[in-house]
């Protein structure tokens, strides 16, 4: 049985966070003071989502990660749908995130109601030391996605 609950950022294994973000330096920047939910099975954290307040009534999802052995089982969806009402209780009306312009992550977020809000040209080239490849293609641009939390999710 998987439980979703709030967890202190320092309890999240770095190896798990690196599943979604290949830069430990970037992770360290957004982890401090973040609101984190963990998916726990048999007292082990197997998935996590990390959000941070970035403006009045707006949070940013900086990391959503599930260990590979547990992926494709709906855990990421459970984490996000548990996050939505918790952010609303904190006064959030929007959740934003950045992702690549292609890949399964984009489809995943769109199925949950996120919409494209902006494109950040060359983001992955300018902000990461190593190139990021997926399906044989290099990520260059970042899509900024936005979800209106005043609508009926979660």
Q: How far apart are CA 44 and CA 109, in angstroms?
A: 25
The string of pLDDT tens digits covering residues 93-107 is: 999 998 876 678 889
Model pLDDT, residue 130: 79
Model pLDDT, residue 27: 94
Are the C-beta atoms of 59 and 95 separated by less than 8 Å? yes
Model pLDDT, residue 101: 66
Are the C-beta atoms of 126 and 141 separated by less than 8 Å? no
Confidence of residue 151 (pLDDT cuts 50, 70, 90): confident
Are the C-beta atoms of 59 and 94 separated by less than 8 Å? yes
- pLDDT > 60? residue 153: no
């Amino acid at each position: 049985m998987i439980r979703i609950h709030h967890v202190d950022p320092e309890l999240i294994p770095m190896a798990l966070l690196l599943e979604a973000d290949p830069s430990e330096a970037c992770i360290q920047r957004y982890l401090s003071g973040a609101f984190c939910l963990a998916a726990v099975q048999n007292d082990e954290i197997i998935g996590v989502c990390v959000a941070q307040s970035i403006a009045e009534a707006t949070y940013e999802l900086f990391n959503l990660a599930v260990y590979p052995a547990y992926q494709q089982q709906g855990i990421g969806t459970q984490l996000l749908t548990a996050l939505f009402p918790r952010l609303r209780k904190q006064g959030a009306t929007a959740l934003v995130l950045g992702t690549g312009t292609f890949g399964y992550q984009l489809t995943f977020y769109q199925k949950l109601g996120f919409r494209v809000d902006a494109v950040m040209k060359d983001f992955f080239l300018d902000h990461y030391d190593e190139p990021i490849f997926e399906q044989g293609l290099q990520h260059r641009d970042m899509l900024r996605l936005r979800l209106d939390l005043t609508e009926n999710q979660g």
